[in-house]
Structure 1
Amino acid sequence: MVGESGSEVVRVVIVDDHPLFRAGLRAALESAHDVVVVAEVETAAAVPETVAEYRPDLVVMDLSLPDGSGIEATRRIAADTPTVPVLVLTMSDDDGSLLAAMRAGAGGYLVKGAGRDEVLHAVRTVAAGGAVFGAQTVPRLTALLASGAPRTAERVFPELTERECEVLDLLARGLDNRNIARRLFLAEKTVRNHITHIFEKLHVGTRAEAVAHARDFGLGAD
């Protein structure tokens, strides 16, 4: 698609569940002559069909969606339509989210609050096949990659207690409650209580969701 100035237009799908933020982002993007928003999506479930229908040049993805993770939605795009790049634009400013987004195939990562020019630069760059990470993100990303630090539950889920992190890590490795209890020298009832607290803090409803969420962030891989 070619714009009025003769330059190629970047066709964008926005994935975010906040209507006011979507409206503001659309206005900011379309204030540029070479960007157009072709669709807006509120849920992770609607992403595959929307991307398949519109075949955009870029998806701008929030990580926190009402029915799932933007990480999984990004991974699905990378698997189903690998020619469609993803730029993450989220409130999540932590190492775990950054690493998980990279592993899922995101080509860029910005934190909400980035200025219009920064967002437009990222949209154009990632749509063209480049990689962009916000000014605050680059030093952390460089340090993480240089250190080769392992992804631990404590690092990616700071809201959990040390014991809850241990339980989640073992859940992600496929252990059942009985074996978790044996490994940590706890009663099975205590393990169940920890799992209940993990569900509450991670906003998941089942063991499978907790395991999937943990694996999204790189746990349970070894």
Structure 2
Amino acid sequence: MIQIFIVDDNNVALAGLKSFLRNNRSLIVTGEARDMTGALKAIDPKSVDIAIVGLDLPDGSGIELCRRLQVEFPGIKCVIFSAPADAETLTRAALAGAFGYLTSNLPGETILQAMHMVSAGRLAFDQRLIEILIRHVRQSAAIESALRELTFRELELFNSVSDGHSSQQIAERIGIAEKTVRNNLTKLYAKLGVENRNELVALSAKLREGLIQPQLCNNPRGTRSAA
């Protein structure tokens, strides 16, 4: 018997999920909560094998709850149950230790199979989301390759823009003309496949969150070159 704890504040999704789970003899719902705080207080690790968690909770995200469960109750496997997600959300869920991500419109048979897969220690991500993840991985690989080829000056510009410095501030700090900074930034955007400063800052945020994990400047020639 697989013991399930449900965390969701969506009444319709909650009722439908409970009804389905309770009609399957191999599963048993041992508890429920509507937010992260309530879940962490109510969960008894001895009576929970899998926590099915909504993505958006009143006091946090399902992804953060998965992360907390991994730390506080490492024996409990977490599955996100929500609407289809983008690649970044899926990546965050995986990094938080989620064993699965299921969309709420999946057939009951698929959900049942996923519960048995997760109980056995296997991952169960909605097959329709796999393509999104694969595209994200390929895009990340291309970005990582580009980052490794950056020169020392380009890395300096990348970090300065990421820290919120204007072109004028960067020019004054490193002792070059502001026009040269703008020209070098244009080249940097092209290398990294971004259109402007905002997209460069967004890329930096992904790096800092661990959504992309490159080894910067593996090219030894890049460490001495000037852009």
TM-score if structure 2 supplies the norm length?
0.62
- Displaced runs of 4 or more, over 3 A: 52-55, 145-151, 183-186, 213-222
Q: Report the CA distance shift for 1:125/1:137 in structure 2 as closer, same or farther (over 3 A).
A: same
Q: How does 1:124-143 map to 2 (within 5 A)?
A: 124-143=116-135
CA distance in 2, matches of 1:185, 1:64: 41
CA distance in 2, matches of 1:116, 1:31: 10
Q: 5+ unaligned residues in a row in structure 1: which ranges? A: 1-8, 152-168, 187-212
Find the residue that maps to 1:148 and give its secondary structure: helix
Tell me how far 1:217 sits from its aligned partner.
5.8
Query: Does structure 2 retain, via aligned residues, the 8 Å contact 1:15–1:62?
Result: yes
Q: Report the CA distance shift for 1:62/1:214 in structure 2 as closer, same or farther (over 3 A).
A: farther
CA distance in 2, matches of 1:101, 1:55: 23
Matched, 1:148 2:143: no
- Letter in structure 1 aligned against 2:120: A
Q: How does 1:69-88 map to 2 (within 5 A)?
A: 69-88=61-80
TM-score if structure 1 supplies the norm length?
0.64
Q: Cα RMSD between the aligned structures?
A: 3.0
CA distance in 2, matches of 1:41, 1:217: 28
Query: Does structure 1 retain, via aligned residues, the 8 Å contact 2:50–2:78?
Result: yes
Query: Does structure 2 retain, via aligned residues, the 8 Å contact 1:97–1:217?
Result: no
Aligned residues: 163
CA distance in 2, matches of 1:214, 1:147: 13
CA distance in 1, matches of 2:39, 2:122: 22
Larger radius of gyration: 2
Q: Report the CA distance shift for 1:53/1:184 in structure 2 as closer, same or farther (over 3 A).
A: farther
Identity between Structure 1 and Structure 2 (%): 26
